[in-house]
Chains A and B, each alone.
Chain A
Amino acid sequence: MPAPIRLRELIRTIRTARTQAEEREMIQKECAAIRSSFREEDNTYRCRNVAKLLYMHMLGYPAHFGQLECLKLIASQKFTDKRIGYLGAMLLLDERQDVHLLMTNCIKNDLNHSTQYVQGLALCTLGCMGSSEMCRDLAGEVEKLLKTSNSYLRKKAALCAVHVIRKVPELMEMFLPATKNLLSEKNHGVLHTSVVLLTEMCERSPDMLAHFRKLVPQLVRILKNLIMSGYSPEHDVSGISDPFLQVRILRLLRILGKGDDDSSEAMNDILAQVATNTETSKNVGNAILYETVLTIMDIKSESGLRVLAINILGRFLLNNDKNIRYVALTSLLKTVQTDHNAVQRHRSTIVDCLKDLDVSIKRRAMELSFALVNGNNIRGMMKELLYFLDSCDPEFKADCASGVFLAAEKYAPSKRWHIDTIMRVLTTAGSYVRDDSVPNLIQLITNSVEMHAYTVQRLYKALLDDISQQPLVQVASWCIGEYGDLLVSGQCEEEEPIQVTEDEVLDVLEGLLVSNLSTPVTRGYALTAIMKLSTRFTSVNRIKKVVSIYGSSIDVELQQRAVEYNALFKKYDHMRPALLERMPIMEKTASNGPTEIVQTNGETEPSVVEAKHPPPVTQPTNQANDLLDLLGGNDVVPVIQNTVSTKPASAGGELLDLLGDLSLSGGTSPAPAPSVPTSQPSFFLDGLTSQPLFNDIAAAGIPPMTAYNKNGLKIDFTFERANPNPNIAVITIHASNSTEADMTDFVFQAAVPKTFQLQLLSPSSNVVPALNQGTVTQVIRVLNPQKQQLRMRIKLTYTHKGSAVQDLAEVNNFPPQSWQ
């Protein structure tokens, strides 16, 4: 058998292949030769063959048949064999193959080998792909080597220990004694790996963290020596001594100083020193500064130091190097919540970064800009952001549009500005806005009563220009349907009113219906708008014709609407005016942040509907109303008086008895509504990256209360506001039983004073399980139109341990928000 070809020759040959097929052929031929060589158990050339196999593996070809051969190489006495064998093990084997466990014994032997380079190979391989079983078996050996005085082995053992800890965290304790004097080493390799080991231990265990806090002075000293020491050729990088070690120490200091005053104070000086003395002309200096800034921001540093850190970031922003600008933006993003004012100072630089050519930088700058928007800078910022929206790549448009909406909603200085801004977004990035922006905008427009004429006029003009952007078209058609009369009568005060006839308006709407650009949803909006105009315009016949045509539309949705509207013209014409009258002001169902806050900035606007400020509410509980179906598919629900059904029959005459003592005139008039909370810069960024922006927030307005707690039975009340009617409080009772026996046949009854109306829905069950294993819930709806102080008498009956129990109680401690 001739000697197998050498590795380099094989590589050369394979590289001459001109096609993929040719290469594959060569590889297959060589693999066959290698396989037969393995079968012959040829020790001499095994190393060469495995090396070739590894090369072919890197090209992407299968090499699993070489796994066992790697093990044989590792077991060999020759260093060359071991080197290739261990490399092969790291490349071809992993913990998923059982074969790897066969290595354990070899590694164990090699860890005790007389040659440090063999020991090094073993440590390296164990630290690279050692499975948890292997780590458990060999941890003791690693620990031994961690205590050796040989620095070459010690540093490898330290990182191997890190791997062991990552794989088997319970073994962390056993390495603790060995860490005792790791930091007194002079060798930088050992120091660095020791710091890594300590960091890993501190990150995983709060006890370890507390234990190692005492190392802070030593770490500070080491860092100081590095900075102050003269030139050391061995560790120098562009004039800085061992930047890798410096950064690692800074990171460990960060972890040790976090949340701890004493440690933070001990490191204040060194941090200030590093921050001011580090050379910033090269990347390496900036890497250290970057780490320093991160550390300063994380620990309990004094405010002067924090300002210094943010200023460093500000300087980074002006750096020519893109990488540094990117890193600055990322860090500022992390600190903008906690040090908002300091970051604000760099706002103009940040906004300039919006114009950067680099995509990564633009994205960070956009996110940061949104985080910096507040009531004072909204106008300027919005101008820049809208300009950005115009010119940015499509990948940004959706996020940017959502951000603009959110910011406008929170900080709009005036209604007109708000509407103008939204219109600008819809016209420039209309196809990228999210679906819920249409109903949100409609709700906003409805609430700005005095702007109706202006809004409908602007929307109409936008429609004349362009009907391709669906969200814009949908909002526009809805508005024209509602306020078409204002449009035609030319009532606009804000700008020059345009002259438009009824026919022209209907032309536009009909144009939407037939246009290929309109989606079915848009068509639905247009048809409904036309229908609404039948009560606002005089040319009813034309509208009737349009509606009847669509009665035979292929689109089922459109057809249904048209048929119903037709019926409205024929049989139900008497109902038509009432049904199609102007929509009342709508309440917002769910939003991200306090919607009712409008910070006026100079301009005073008569705030029309902002009188009632219900706390943020949950989804509406009302039933689907047929009328609403007819009038369009908006998510927002108009305020309609919910007729509360009469009390259930079971709570018949008995309750009137309960009412006996409750005085009806009530107490004093309710206290004024709680003051509106001022807006805080909310956590914008959470929404901007991957989740939808308009998240619901839980109703946290009204605190729960305990209504009854006796004999082991506890009844808690939790509250919700029933939207749309704020006069209705929805109370859910939670009954729990802490005794050892169940309470069966549990019945809860309640009575309220005459000015209230009560509705009791059915309970979840009538057994309250023992030992708090479950609760019985039941919903009570209380209508309180006169906003009187809520009081209630409750009667509880249940069977407990064989005997019937009955109890009466008064509930007076309702929180004020539940009835105001």
Chain B
Amino acid sequence: MFMRFLLLFSRQGKLRLQKWFTPLTDREKKKVIRDMMMLVLARPARSCNFLQWRDLKIVYKRWYASLYFCAGLEDHDNELLALEVLHRYVELLDKYFGNVCELDIIFNFEKAYFILDEFLMEGEILETSKVAVGVSLEEADTLQETMEEYMSKPAY
């Protein structure tokens, strides 16, 4: 497996996105989130982006002033590539939202998930082409009914 989990949280400790690629109980998830926030937010400014936690390699990246990406990798995974993966996700968000910022992710969290699900799956990269991901998202969005269409179609 490449990634075990991917988290997005703010400097104030507010979770913005959580994707789990292994089954964990709610309790375990909360523990991981707490630990990650504690470890990552405590790191001094110019440290390297990797640290060791239990048996996992943690890769984190600070994005703009206030948002942190945090991914947990297995021991044999390539940390440098993980940084590229995080970078690619930011690019995808940026392309979709146009100059993305934290508020975009807060108010459109479901879209952030949709974008992630076109890029990663089962902890692995699903699509390596930025263009292809953008196209799928656009096409899927057009399938979403507008409110009027929605209201006018008969309900089951």
Nearest to B127 among chain A residues (CB) is A189
In the complex, the answer to whether A290 meets B122 with C-beta atoms within 8 Å is no
Residues of A within 8 A of B83 (CB): 283, 287, 323
Cβ 8 A contact of A189, one of B47, B85, B114, B126: B126
Q: Take A44-B150, A80-B150, A162-B124 as given contacts and tell me if A243 and B145 are in contact as well, using a CB distance cutoff of 8 Å.
A: no
Residues of B within 8 A of A711 (CB): none
In the complex, the answer to whether B150 meets A243 with C-beta atoms within 8 Å is no
Cβ 8 A contact of A80, one of B51, B117, B144: B144
B78–chain A nearest beta-carbon distance, Å: 5
In the complex, the answer to whether A159 meets B128 with C-beta atoms within 8 Å is no
Cβ 8 A contact of A323, one of B14, B48, B139: B48
In the complex, the answer to whether B121 meets A78 with C-beta atoms within 8 Å is no
Nearest to A124 among chain B residues (CB) is B117
A279–chain B nearest beta-carbon distance, Å: 14
Residues of B within 8 A of A286 (CB): 80
Instruction: List the one stretch of A50-58, A397-405, A638-646 in contact with chain B.
Output: A50-58
Complex alpha-carbon distance, A159 and B123, angstroms:
9
Cβ 8 A contact of B143, one of A76, A117, A325: A117
Residues of A within 8 A of B17 (CB): 58
In the complex, the answer to whether B155 meets A188 with C-beta atoms within 8 Å is no
Complex alpha-carbon distance, A248 and B85, angstroms:
13
Complex alpha-carbon distance, A248 and B76, angstroms:
12
User: Does A385 sit within 8 A of B, measured CB to CB?
Assistant: no
Nearest to B17 among chain A residues (CB) is A58
**For residues 157 through 197 of chain A, which have their beta carbon under 8 Å from a beta carbon of chain B?**
159-160, 162-163, 166, 188-189, 192-193, 196
Q: Take A87-B110, A117-B143, A360-B48 as given contacts and tell me if A196 and B80 are in contact as well, using a CB distance cutoff of 8 Å.
A: no
Complex alpha-carbon distance, A84 and B150, angstroms:
14
Number of contact residues on B: which range applies? 35 or more
In the complex, the answer to whether A80 meets B23 with C-beta atoms within 8 Å is no
In the complex, the answer to whether B145 meets A78 with C-beta atoms within 8 Å is yes
Complex alpha-carbon distance, A243 and B107, angstroms:
32
Q: Take A78-B153, A79-B144 as given contacts and tell me if A128 and B47 are in contact as well, using a CB distance cutoff of 8 Å.
A: no
Residues of A within 8 A of B51 (CB): 360
A55–chain B nearest beta-carbon distance, Å: 6
Q: Take A43-B156, A237-B84 as given contacts and tell me if A245 and B50 are in contact as well, using a CB distance cutoff of 8 Å.
A: no
In the complex, the answer to whether B47 meets A358 with C-beta atoms within 8 Å is yes
Complex alpha-carbon distance, A251 and B48, angstroms:
24
A291–chain B nearest beta-carbon distance, Å: 5
Nearest to B137 among chain A residues (CB) is A117
In the complex, the answer to whether A159 meets B121 with C-beta atoms within 8 Å is yes
User: Does B56 sit within 8 A of A, measured CB to CB?
Assistant: no
B154–chain A nearest beta-carbon distance, Å: 10
Interface centre among A95, A189, A245, A359 (most CB of B within 10 A): A189
In the complex, the answer to whether A163 meets B122 with C-beta atoms within 8 Å is yes
User: Does B129 sit within 8 A of A, measured CB to CB?
Assistant: yes
Residues of B within 8 A of A96 (CB): 23, 25
User: Does B18 sit within 8 A of A, measured CB to CB?
Assistant: yes
Complex alpha-carbon distance, A79 and B131, angstroms:
23
User: Does B66 sit within 8 A of A, measured CB to CB?
Assistant: no
Complex alpha-carbon distance, A291 and B122, angstroms:
21
Q: Take A78-B145, A83-B114, A283-B84 as given contacts and tell me if A155 and B126 are in contact as well, using a CB distance cutoff of 8 Å.
A: yes
User: Does A129 sit within 8 A of B, measured CB to CB?
Assistant: yes
Q: Take A83-B144, A128-B122, A189-B126 as given contacts and tell me if A43 and B81 are in contact as well, using a CB distance cutoff of 8 Å.
A: no
Interface centre among B50, B52, B107, B121 (most CB of A within 10 A): B121
Cβ 8 A contact of A159, one of B85, B124, B139: B124
User: Does B32 sit within 8 A of A, measured CB to CB?
Assistant: no
A160–chain B nearest beta-carbon distance, Å: 8
Complex alpha-carbon distance, A325 and B80, angstroms:
11
In the complex, the answer to whether B48 meets A95 with C-beta atoms within 8 Å is no
**For residues 102 through 148 of chain A, which have their beta carbon under 8 Å from a beta carbon of chain B?**
115, 117, 120, 124, 127-129
A-B contact pairs, 15 of them (CB 8 A): A54-B109, A58-B16, A78-B145, A83-B114, A95-B23, A96-B25, A117-B136, A124-B121, A166-B122, A189-B127, A192-B125, A234-B131, A237-B84, A322-B49, A326-B50
List 9 tightest A-B contacts by C-beta distance, closest first: A287-B80, A322-B48, A43-B155, A189-B127, A79-B143, A287-B81, A159-B121, A244-B128, A80-B144
| A interface residues with partner B (beta carbon < 8 Å) | 8, 11-12, 15, 43-44, 51, 54-55, 58-60, 76-80, 83-84, 87, 94-96, 115, 117, 120, 124, 127-129, 152, 155-156, 159-160, 162-163, 166, 188-189, 192-193, 196, 233-235, 237, 242-245, 247-248, 251, 283-284, 286-287, 290-291, 294, 322-327, 357-361
| B interface residues with partner A (beta carbon < 8 Å) | 1, 14-18, 21, 23, 25, 46-52, 78-81, 83-85, 88, 106-107, 109-110, 113-114, 117, 121-122, 124-132, 136, 139-140, 143-145, 150-151, 153, 155-156
